[in-house]
Chains A and B, each alone.
Chain A
């Protein structure tokens, strides 16, 4: 089955700096890669996603890049703000076979933005 590795597990930046979180996946058939943000004590919420037919996607200060050959994808946050502090999870969705429909998450990255 799919295996998703996420790094780093913790990331500390100064306000205004950029933050990058990387994930690798094992199943080359996976075709959907969402990123979720979870604030303390709250439920995860989707912040951006990318499909396997696209190499990059941007939404204001957030961008995601996908390298299918290397089987990795990354979340980029520019001009970080204290309210970006949260746990971020990447995920990969299996595309076929008996695992069709499964969503595998990374272990999470605790991002802290210092004012």
Chain B
């Protein structure tokens, strides 16, 4: 089944404790992206990747890191999480830049 998976789905952590949210797709998509969703602000792009080893900043990259060592995986790293990073996070992938993006199920992160 073609899908985008994220783990964990829910996470409660404390300020400063490094964490990684994994994202994996099995559709051989070149383009992958991370978004955060906050009430009233819509979806804001954090980072995106157009191919292996190619990553670029979105609109809200501060406090986040990403890597794209393999085509299928695009982990989101929070080196030192802060409460303002409490949010719902979505990973997405698409075959090409201007193509249907398929979203993962979301990760709800709470930073205390």
* Chain A positions near chain B (C-beta within 8 angstroms): 1, 6, 31-32, 34, 43-46, 49, 51, 89, 91, 93, 100-108
Contact = CB atoms under 8 A, between A and B. Distances in A.
B100 A102 contact: no
Interface in B82-107: 90, 97-98, 100-101, 103-106
B106 A43 contact: yes
A51 B59 contact: no
A43 B105 contact: yes
B98 A106 contact: no
Contacts of B97: 32, 93, 100-101
Contacts of B103: 43-45
B48 to A, nearest CB: 6
Interface stretch (B20-28, B38-46, B66-74): B38-46
Contact of B98 (A1, A32, A108): A32
Contact of A44 (B43, B45, B48): B43
Nearest to A46: B100
A108 B59 CA distance: 17
Given A1-B59, A101-B48, A103-B45, A46 B106 contact: no
B94 to A, nearest CB: 9
Contacts of A106: 42
Contacts of B106: 43
B76 interface: no
A105 B43 contact: yes
B59 A107 contact: no
Contacts of B48: 101-103
Contacts of B35: 105
A16 to B, nearest CB: 28
